[in-house]
Amino acid sequence: MLQIEEVHAAQSRCADQLRNPPCVKTKPLSHQLGRPVFLKMDNLQHTGSFKERGALNRLLTLTEEEKKAGVIASSAGNHAQAVAYHATRLGIAATIVMPTGTPLIKVSRTRGFGAQVHLHGDNYDAAYEHAVGLAKESGATFVHPYDDPMVMAGQGTMALEIIAQQPDVNTVIIPVGGGGLIGGMSCALKHYNPDIRIIAVEPEALPSMAQSIAAGAVKKIPPAVTLADGIAVREGGKQTFEMAKKYVDEYVTVNDDEIARAILYLLETEKSVAEGAGAAGVAALLAGKIKIDADTVVCTCVCGGNIDVNLVAQIIERGLLESGRRVSLSIMVPDKPGALQGLLQCIGQHQANVVGVQHERAFAKTTVGTVQVRLGLDTRGHEHISELVQGLHAAGYEVER
């Protein structure tokens, strides 16, 4: 089982080659909860995630012979980029096996960091098996994404930084997939404060670690799709399971709507881009899933920021709709010149901004002589929308949302 000495050794080994991101207080969330909440911004690492910590530590513990033979890893995301970046920087040949369906941008980034990329299999499990086989055939070292003590030790360096930056923290929320991050961090956190509260947060669709703990052994659960793809792990590691069993105090889950809300919160409030896994801890706090006492001081790690920009656009759009800052209204108007102008004047009088207009004659349920106008509007909140709809009704318009 991982020991604190290995985490300290990892910090000494890696400190000058990694960033030490700030642990910042999030004022709106602190105000909402009535207690201080800090965010460890590990999305600011060179490749955008905490995975660099474990990957670098593992690479730095290779023997000279192992370095010459190269390394192999399997990943569809952050681990791939972390291994590729640091292996290339250290002059170690790296091969990354990724599932055939991996988005092109992730493949391109990994190649851009200098690794040789093999696309194999329809899912991560198939890519993993192929990578392990290649490592055996070639004599290269397989760098596991989480179930390796040196990887866990590297991830644990984040906890040492949090302790130094915010020593009063007594509750730490850690996103969990395979368990490497929580395994390493909990080892360090509990060493320095046995009473510290460690909370694991998993995607509601894939709570593999919580189910394994409940079953008393590592359990493989059915596949599922989640916005938190970085922690979408069907089966945790054997070593990480033992660490979680020993140190983790609580388990909570968050759904995709809660994760999306947290991504938008971080973007708008903290001016920081987080991926689904990186926002999971904030999601749990925003959703009220963490018990906050009078003396609670919370920290959660924003552990990754590699998110597709198209997905960010969808999340922003959804967030605007949920918060009442954007609305779509269907309005019946007379099918005659000037009717649309009159409608838009009414909209303008109520200080709503038009962002989209669509006329529908053929397929809408309209009477002869009328046309359905679908308007996309920027508004100031749900109360403003209600006032707008009431004003349209008062002006004689038939409105549907």
- pLDDT per residue as tens digits for the range 330-359: 999 998 999 999 999 999 999 999 999 998
pLDDT digits (tens, 9 = 90+) for 241-254: 999 999 999 999 99
Instruction: Return phi, psi of residue 361, to 5°.
Output: -110, -50
For the stretch 60-98, pLDDT in tens is: 999 999 999 999 999 978 999 999 999 999 999 999 999
Q: What is the pLDDT of residue 359?
A: 82
Q: What is 71-139's CATH topology?
A: Rossmann fold (3.40.50)
* 363, pLDDT greater than 70: no
Those residues whose C-beta lies under 8 Å from the C-beta of residue 158, and which sit 6 or more positions away, are 40, 42, 50, 53, 181, 184, 185, 301
DSSP strands (E only) in 179-304: 197-203, 250-254, 298-301
**Of 244, 145, 254, nearest in space to 198 by CA:** 244
CATH number of this structure's domain 324-400, picked from the four choices 3.40.50.150, 3.10.20.30, 3.90.1150.10, 3.30.70.260:
3.30.70.260
Mean pLDDT of 372-397: 96
- How large is the average pLDDT for residues 278-295? 98
Residues of the chain with CATH 3.30.70.260: 324-400
pLDDT at 104 over 90: no
CATH of domain 4-50+148-318: 3.40.50.1100
Give residue-wise pLDDT tens across range 177-199.
Answer: 999 999 999 999 999 999 999 99
Residues 6+ away with beta carbon under 8 Å from 340: 333, 357, 373
Give the per-residue pLDDT at 106.
85
Rounded to an integer, the average pLDDT of 314-320 is 91
| pLDDT average, residue stretch 305-330 | 92
Q: How far is CA 216 from CA 35, 146, 231, 242, in A?
A: 35, 20, 21, 10
pLDDT of residue 95: 98
pLDDT digits (tens, 9 = 90+) for 106-154: 899 999 999 999 999 988 888 999 999 999 999 999 999 999 999 999 9
Q: Where in the chain is the domain with CATH 3.40.50.1100?
A: 4-50+148-318, 71-139
Q: pLDDT tens, 16-54? A: 999 999 999 999 999 999 999 999 999 999 999 999 999
- What average pLDDT does this structure show over 276-303? 98
| Sheet containing strand 116-119, strands side by side | 116-119, 94-98, 71-74, 141-142
Mean pLDDT of 98-108: 86
pTM of the model: 0.91
- pLDDT of residue 162 exceeding 80, the answer is yes
The mean of the pLDDT values for the chain is 95
For residue 248 the two structure tokens come to 């983790």
Amino acid 337: pLDDT: 92
C-alpha distances (whole Å) from 176 to each of 131, 167, 201, 206 are 23, 23, 6, 10
